[in-house]
Amino acid sequence: MILATLCYVRSGGKTLMMHRNKRSDDVHLGKYNGLGGKFEPGESPEECVVREVFEESGLQIIPELRGVMTFPQFSKGRDWYCFLYTAHSFRGEVKKECPEGDLVWVDDDKLLDLPLWPGDKIFLGWFQQPHFFSAKFNYENGNLIGHTVQFYPE
């Protein structure tokens, strides 16, 4: 099992995205994604997302937990559990270089035009709702084969 965080930093009608284009062994190679990564031992989800966003972008964020997502057998036969955040409050300037990929501010109305995982195109729309969610996305050979979601409170 892999525990991870994912954060979408948003400001002025734009979202900070990472074009995952620098590591040939990256399961996300070629896709755009939010910022985040895997937990280090002893970290809480909030500590992980704050650290990961700072390491990747140079921004110090105040994260807002929006949901929890599971991805059964997503990569190398391992389940991924991901805590999903947005951040509207942050300090600092975006770094020019990131070893994971290129950082770019994208107009919110253009996000779905990017090469994204199919599930991302679904959950990005849930940010317009005030509800917390728990979702499961099933992929097979990189293709989304189904998903379920529960919103709280209903």
The CATH number of whichever domain residue 126 belongs to comes to 3.90.79.10
Q: For residues 57 and 23, give the distance between their C-alpha atoms in angstroms, rounded to a whole number.
A: 17
Task: Give the closest residue to 99 by CA, choosing from 8, 3, 24, 16.
Answer: 24
Q: How confident is the model at residue 36 (pLDDT cuts 50, 70, 90)?
A: very high
Q: In the prediction, which pLDDT does 20 show?
A: 87
Does the pLDDT at position 86 exceed 90? Answer: yes
Amino acid type, 136: K
Query: For 105-145, how does the pLDDT look when each residue is reduced to its tens digit (9 = 90+)?
Result: 999 999 999 999 999 999 999 988 889 999 999 999 889 99
First to last CA, the chain: 29
Query: Which domain covers residue 20, as residue numbers?
Result: 2-152
Report how many domains make up the chain. 1
